[in-house]
Amino acid sequence: MRLKRKIYVTSTYLPPKEEFLRYVDAFYASRQLTNLGPLQTELEEKLGARLGVEEPLCVGNATLGLMLALRALDLTEGEIITTPFSYVATLSSILWERCTPVFADIRADSLTLDPALLQKALSPRTRAILPVHVFGYACAVDEIDAFAAGHGLKVIYDAAHALGAKLRGRSLLTYGDVSVSSMHATKLLHTAEGGLIWAGAAATRRRLELLRRCGHNYDEYYEPGINAKLSEPHAALGLACLRHLDEILAARKNLCAQYDRLLGNLVGRPAPPPDMEHNYAYYPVIFRDETQLKRVCKALNASGVYPRRYFFPSLNTLPYLPVRQPCPTSEDVATRIACLPLFPDLLAEEVDAICALIRENL
């Protein structure tokens, strides 16, 4: 069985062109393409209102956001406890800021950092914890935040997948000292390239805002910063997409329900906390072993369907790390997990075909 079109793990949502062009007309009229323009300001205000977060800051991408968060919290040396099960940018931001990553393994149910292992990872050099709301599933925030408070540590949540997800009625972006989300083209709300930062303390928000524009305000220079601003064309795309966020979420939710119905218990699935509202950012499935995963992926590829192995390999196994830190749960899951195609214009009959191929090749 070969599908009528190639189907990749994601397909970038594009808003109606005429809506995007109205925002393009705005920056053509103002002739301001960057430097904290009115469209970026409007996007920040609308995202803040929509997500219930105070004074979020748009940046060029989420990796820059993580780097800024580390710098704004003065985490430029020492050890950062983090998860081995994430995209490499989580690790890269720590290394880029000259900190030392220390891995704590993940929970087998939610695939998020296991708070029971924090004590083992702790040392006199530990400065912060950087967990990930992987696939939009909430970390054990109460346990992580309590541990951090008890040991004088900062918490930065990599919330790259979590925009639109809620825990106990609150946006996942409102936990920790700083949270950083992604607005990359593959995300459910995007600016082509972009990121969003929230910080709980007003002083941290002010410092983040300064650091993202090279550490100065006109002719007043305060400290070294970087250029992490979001451009007006990127903000224009984000504003046009934001108008359709509800329909994007509804379409993804329906597709996930269809996958659930057709696959049932044939494959494993991460278990989110019972008190969270998911954002349907991804549809990860966990196979019995890597052999089964490869067999299914080969069959899907032959039919023009391309799932993706998120996240492989486990970050603690990367060759440029100076010390190997075993994380058996992450290393195991990383070899047998993949995300199935999920995007708003994926058709119900295509999901039917994908699931039939999976069932035939398990």
Residue range 168-211, pLDDT digits in tens: 999 999 999 999 999 999 999 999 999 999 999 999 999 999 99
* Domain at 244-361, CATH homologous superfamily: Aspartate Aminotransferase, domain 1 (3.90.1150.10)
> What is the bridge-based pairing of β-strands 170-171 and 166-167?
antiparallel
The pLDDT > 70 percentage for the chain reads: 100
Separation of alpha carbons 166 and 67, rounded Å: 24
pTM for the model: 0.96
Run of H or E residues at 24:
helix 17-30
pLDDT greater than 70 at residue 1: no
Q: Do 17-242 and 244-361 show the same overall fold? A: no
Structure confidence at residue 10 as a pLDDT band (50, 70, 90): very high
User: In 10 A of CB 150, how many CB atoms?
Assistant: 8
Render pLDDT for 36-63 as a digit per residue (tens, 0 to 9).
999 999 999 999 999 999 999 999 999 9
179: left (phi over 0), alpha (psi -120 to 50) or beta: beta
The span from the first CA to the last CA of the chain, in angstroms, equals: 16
Q: Where are the alpha helices (DSSP H) in 33-78?
A: 38-51, 62-72
Return the CATH architecture of domain 17-242: 3-Layer(aba) Sandwich (3.40)
Residue (of 143, 150, 148, 170) closest to 159 by Cα position: 170
Q: What is the pLDDT of residue 147?
A: 98
At residue 162, the pLDDT reads: 97
Tokens of 50: 């929509």
H or E stretch at 356: helix 348-361
Give residue-wise pLDDT tens across range 217-228: 999 999 999 999
Query: Helix 88-96 vs helix 62-72: angle between axes, to the nearest 10 degrees?
Result: 40
Residues 305-353 pLDDT 10s: 999 999 999 999 999 998 899 999 999 999 999 999 999 999 999 999 9
Collapsing DSSP states into helix, strand and coil, what is residue 196? strand
Domain ranges of the chain: 17-242, 244-361
Whether residue 265 has pLDDT greater than 80: yes
For the cut 80, the answer to whether the pLDDT of residue 2 exceeds it is no
Average pLDDT over the chain, rounded to whole? 97
Angle of helix 38-51 relative to helix 232-242, nearest 10 degrees, comes to 30
* pLDDT over 80 (residue 358): yes
- Tell me if 62 sits within 8 A of 212, measured CB to CB: no
In the structure encoding, which two tokens stand for residue 317, read together? 């196994």
pLDDT of amino acid 30: 95
Alpha carbons 114 and 119: distance in angstroms, whole number? 10
What does the pLDDT look like over 282-311, one tens digit per residue?
A: 999 999 999 999 999 999 999 999 999 999
The pLDDT tens digits of the residues spanning 70-124 come to: 999 999 999 999 999 999 999 999 999 999 999 999 999 999 999 999 999 999 9
Cα 243 from Cα 226, distance rounded (Å): 31
Question: How high is the pLDDT of residue 262?
Answer: 98
